Amino acid sequence: MRNRSRHKQRRVFSGVNLAALLVFLFIALPLYWMIASAFKTPANVGASPPQYLPHPASVQNFNVAFSQNTFGRYIVNSVIVAVAATALVLVLGTLAGYAMARLPMRGTFTILVILLMISVFPEIAVVVPLYALLRDIGWLNSYQALIIPYTAFFLPFAIWILRNYFLAIPHEMEESARIDGANPLRTIWSIILPQAWPGLFTAAIFTFTACWTEFLMALSFNVSNDYRTIPVGVALFGSQFTVPYGTLFAASVVAVVPIGILVFIFRRSVVSGLTAGAVKG
């Protein structure tokens, strides 16, 4: 019986490993092909049969992306918008999440349900009224045209994560701070935030990634080339009759790989922030 049980466990374990390997290949192979194609010469990007390794390796696609296109400007715009929106989301999400986790208030469950509905609400349903509003107040083709909508869209998710994480922090720590004379803001800054940094980092990385890759609102609200972000700028590479695949791959590598490296380095913090909030919330 024990041998059969062990054999069954090994088969299940092998099946899980095989499934995990297939999922990894499904995710990693497109990323590898994008990186390899970015370092090919333009003539070899669409070669037949395809080259699985860039030979000879070249940075010509990166040079074209930065020299013949204003890709550097797109990077600056994306950094400004993503960093500003992430900072606003963290500040407002921390205050709102702490209030919902600690202060007695009616309708907390209803508020959470509404926040959840907002977080899954499709962007396309509000693009037209938002465009009309931004046009009336003169905010089209500006950084705030993206920063404020991004903050509104991604704040509910941050509130959910931070509230659940704040619930896992013992009340005794805050009571000790109150006894020492700390006001609520000082308690949050000195006691709560150091304990909740995995949740804060999780909310920050998800918000930053969402802002960095958002396309629809960036395409609709900022048509001026001076305020375009990376997704819109990359989508507009090329002309009516040509598609510069090598340049597109190079720009995509510059846009995607840094975020991938950041998430990989801090993956434990991200997983800790998600699981702590989900289990203890």
Q: What are the mean pLDDT values of the chain's consecutive 10-residue runs (281 residues total)? A: 62 76 88 89 78 83 84 93 96 90 80 81 89 95 96 91 84 77 78 82 90 94 93 80 82 85 73 56 44
Cα 79 to Cα 259: distance, rounded to the nearest angstrom: 12
Q: What's the pTM? A: 0.83
Query: 111 to each of 43, 118, 156, 241, how far by Cα in Å?
Result: 56, 11, 10, 51
| CA neighbor of 248 nearest in space, from 26, 27, 42 | 42
Angle, alpha carbons 276-278-27 (nearest 5°): 90
Cα 32 to Cα 151: distance, rounded to the nearest angstrom: 32
| pLDDT value of position 199 | 83
| pLDDT value of position 121 | 81
| pLDDT value of position 270 | 65
Cβ-Cβ contacts under 8 Å for 216 (sequence gap 6 or more): 123, 124, 127
| pLDDT value of position 183 | 78
| pLDDT value of position 280 | 46
Contacts 24+ apart (CB under 8 A), 60-64: 60/246, 61/246, 61/247, 61/249, 61/250, 62/38, 62/250, 62/254, 64/244, 64/246, 64/247, 64/250
| pLDDT value of position 281 | 44
| pLDDT value of position 153 | 92
CA 104 to chain centre: 32
Radius of gyration of the chain (CA): 23
Q: What number of CA atoms fall less than 13 Å from residue 54's CA on the CB side?
A: 20
Cβ-Cβ contacts under 8 Å for 252 (sequence gap 6 or more): 34, 38, 234
Cα 205 to Cα 273: distance, rounded to the nearest angstrom: 11
